[in-house]
Chain A
Amino acid sequence: MKVTVALRGTLKKLFDGPLEKVVEIPEGSTCNDALLAAGIDYKELKNFGFVSVNNLRVMIDSEVKDGDYIKAFSRVMGG
């Protein structure tokens, strides 16, 4: 199945230009699998925040389905 991985906040640089990538991953994959397929290991990023699927925050090990739009946010502070 195909999902889109989009970057937000300070993670925007990670694709070296583009802000999103479409990746192909097996059925039953998680957000983390999608990020890894896009070349992002969140454990290596000290400023990694959270992920959302179709604009709703989920946990990193939540399953995704075909066509999902996954956003990876950096941590933000203050307001």
Chain B
Amino acid sequence: MKAKILEEKYTAQAADPNQTIMSAYQNRVLRIYLDKQEAVVEPLRMDFAEKYVGSKGLVIRYMYEDMKPGIDPLGPDNNLYFTTGPMSGTPIPCSGKLSVAAKSPATGTMNDCSVGGHCGIRLKFAGYDMAVFHGQMDKPTYVVIEDDEITFHDASHLWGLTSHEAERELIKEYGTEYSCLSIGPAGENLNYISCINCDYYRQAGRGGIGAVMGSKKLKAILIKGTQGVKVPNIKEVTDRIVEITRTVCVCEDTDYVFDEGTYAFLEACNDGGILPAHNFSAATDIKWDTYNGAVMKKYRLGKRGCGSCALGCGNFMQVGDAIVEGPEYETTAASGPQCDIASIEHNVRFNMVVDDMGMDSISTGMTIAWAMEMAEKGIHDFGVHFGNEEEMIQMVKDMAYRRGAGAELADGVKVASEKWGGTDFAMHSKGLEFPQYEPRGSFAMANSYAVSDRGACHMRSYTPNEEVFAASVPPYTYEDKGIVLYNLGESNAIKFSCCLCDLFGTVDYPLMAELLTMITGREWTVEEMAEVGRRVLNIGRAFNQREGFTREHDIVPQRMFKDKLKGGPADGQVLTEEGFQDILDQYYEIMGWDENGCLPQELLDTL
């Protein structure tokens, strides 16, 4: 396939001549048109950057601008975005994540995923704040981004390989100075629960983002950058960042991150009554009360971190020939207690297989757990049963390749339950499977899943922080939970728009404003941090509103209202419809949305 090179060298100027270009941004957006095999560079919309900062917020604003409502998520009009933030590539710790976004085939909503590894920093070093893939190829292809040179390559020999196999081939050919984003068989087969892998062991996991890449016949993207990021007063900035790293990032608050990573959550959630088990029918599974960090460390080869990370949350584990970075808390819970399999060896094997197949571990685990309950209830037997490890591992592969019963489960629990029944215990919101926090042990988490802009997500408003782990508010009530939901959501929205990792530590608004001011040369205030956070929540909602989403879609499965939780400190707890709707009312009012959950025109005009 003939390679095309950017012919016109880009001249730095603002999209709007009256706009000041902030430092730390590259002020370059790379648009790659697959069907034409062309690449064009345009200036970054600085007005968007001032309103949304970067990463999560910036990409949703671009999606809102670029894409018409109603497009087919697996059609040529769905763009695939890879977006950095102003902090990417600077000395600021834990700022190496990359936002990967598109309209989701699983939910029909906007969908932004945050992935670690080194691809975010390398894209920034290649000279871009954002790379956007338009259109579709007619043949399997991989694209190489190397500074100003963008080349298109035949990927016929890679198509059909697993994600790890394809990445191994490419890195063998190109070298380790390249980052690799790739899809596995699940993405090629357009599965709604497929993911994009990054540098072997990190995933942009949710909402079928791998299927969007698969629909473009894009097997892999290689990224190498040799440029830097311009930051003013680099000596003073570096000194201050070193101080922040030592006091706020790497500190007593976060030493559990290096010690155990997110595996530390397992015992805390178990004892806190929010570790879900048996497809969200029980909590605090007694089989898991001894699965703590000490057990995990027996299998750990070492620690790993992403580019620019100062914490190293990743546990690099080996069980037999399965070697993987993980399993994280989510993967452990989804493949363990949810499926009644109390085995860390199984968790590692499951993690390895889902990564290799290019599938989201949360959605895969929850879809199989639902299928197990379908068999247990005698509704339909997909060939997977609670407690059976081998059936589960085989089913993951069958789902990836859409073989046999796996084809019925390949698009997640919403699609499967609408065909086969069992919708009351199909654990999803808007088509995205529940993450591993039991809402009946942390009531506001149900609303968090329901109002999340991409369907059930734990990275929006993480209410166990207040309702369980800090015990700052009672967990089994509805009163004043709307503001808890809002405050946590606003905080994460700005943090992820800065491109900071969730595990950074006690990063607060004054610190984020200080960091942004230091590197961009523009004065950012604490008040602005709150404004940006609110705006990011609104632009996500506005995108979905344009797609037809309203209050009637802000729901959770009936199990939450009908079935009392079994076991643990939240034993017997169940949500009420009235309480759930009450929190929605509180939240909509705080957001300035109408009673139908819609943004009024005057609010839309501010975005």
Chain B residues with Cβ below 8 Å from A58 are: 569
Most buried by B among A56, A57, A73: A57
Q: Interface SS of chain A: helix, strand, loop or mixed? A: mixed
Q: Measured between alpha carbons, how far is A67 from B270 in the docked complex, in Å?
A: 21
Q: Does B259 contact A (CB under 8 A)?
A: yes
Chain B residues with Cβ below 8 Å from A78 are: 262, 459, 462, 502-503
Chain A residues with Cβ below 8 Å from B465 are: 75, 77
Q: Does A12 contact B (CB under 8 A)?
A: yes
Cβ of B469 and Cβ of A79 under 8 Å apart?
no
Cβ of B435 and Cβ of A50 under 8 Å apart?
no
Q: Measured between alpha carbons, how far is A73 from B262 in the docked complex, in Å?
A: 14
Cβ of B256 and Cβ of A9 under 8 Å apart?
yes
Q: Measured between alpha carbons, how far is A78 from B471 in the docked complex, in Å?
A: 16
How would residues 369 to 387 of chain B score, 1 for a CB under 8 Å from any chain A CB and 0 otherwise? 0000000000000000000
Q: Does B329 contact A (CB under 8 A)?
A: yes
User: What range describes how many residues of B lie at the interface?
Assistant: 35 or more
Q: Interface SS of chain B: helix, strand, loop or mixed? A: helix
Closest to B568 in A: A56
Q: Does B284 contact A (CB under 8 A)?
A: yes
Cβ of A79 and Cβ of B289 under 8 Å apart?
no
Cβ of A50 and Cβ of B259 under 8 Å apart?
no
Q: Does B271 contact A (CB under 8 A)?
A: yes
Q: Measured between alpha carbons, how far is A8 from B265 in the docked complex, in Å?
A: 10
A79 with B329: in contact, given A10-B256, A56-B568, A58-B569 (CB under 8 Å)? yes
Q: Does B406 contact A (CB under 8 A)?
A: no
User: What range describes how many residues of A lie at the interface?
Assistant: 20 to 34
Cβ of B272 and Cβ of A50 under 8 Å apart?
yes
Cβ of A55 and Cβ of B270 under 8 Å apart?
yes
Cβ of A79 and Cβ of B253 under 8 Å apart?
no
Closest to A73 in B: B268
Cβ of B265 and Cβ of A79 under 8 Å apart?
yes
A10 with B469: in contact, given A52-B272, A56-B568, A73-B268 (CB under 8 Å)? no
Cβ of A10 and Cβ of B255 under 8 Å apart?
yes
A55 with B462: in contact, given A10-B256, A79-B330, A79-B435 (CB under 8 Å)? no
Chain A residues with Cβ below 8 Å from B329 are: 79
Q: Which of A23-68 contact B (CB under 8 A)?
A: 46-47, 49-50, 52, 55-60
A-B contact pairs, 30 of them (CB 8 A): A8-B292, A9-B256, A9-B264, A9-B268, A10-B255, A12-B256, A13-B252, A50-B272, A50-B470, A50-B471, A52-B569, A56-B273, A56-B284, A56-B568, A57-B272, A59-B471, A60-B471, A76-B264, A76-B265, A76-B268, A76-B469, A77-B462, A77-B465, A77-B503, A78-B262, A79-B262, A79-B265, A79-B330, A79-B459, A79-B502
List the 6 shortest-distance A-B pairs measured between CB atoms, nearest first: A78-B502, A52-B271, A57-B569, A55-B289, A9-B256, A49-B469
User: Which residue numbers of B lie inside 8 Å of A, CB to CB?
Assistant: 252-256, 259, 262, 264-265, 267-268, 270-273, 284, 286, 289, 292, 328-330, 435-437, 458-459, 462, 465, 468-471, 502-503, 568-569
Known interface pairs A10-B253, A77-B462; 14 further A-B residue pairs with C-beta atoms within 8 A, sorted by A's residue number: A8-B264, A8-B268, A8-B292, A9-B256, A9-B268, A10-B252, A55-B270, A56-B273, A56-B568, A57-B271, A57-B468, A71-B267, A79-B329, A79-B435
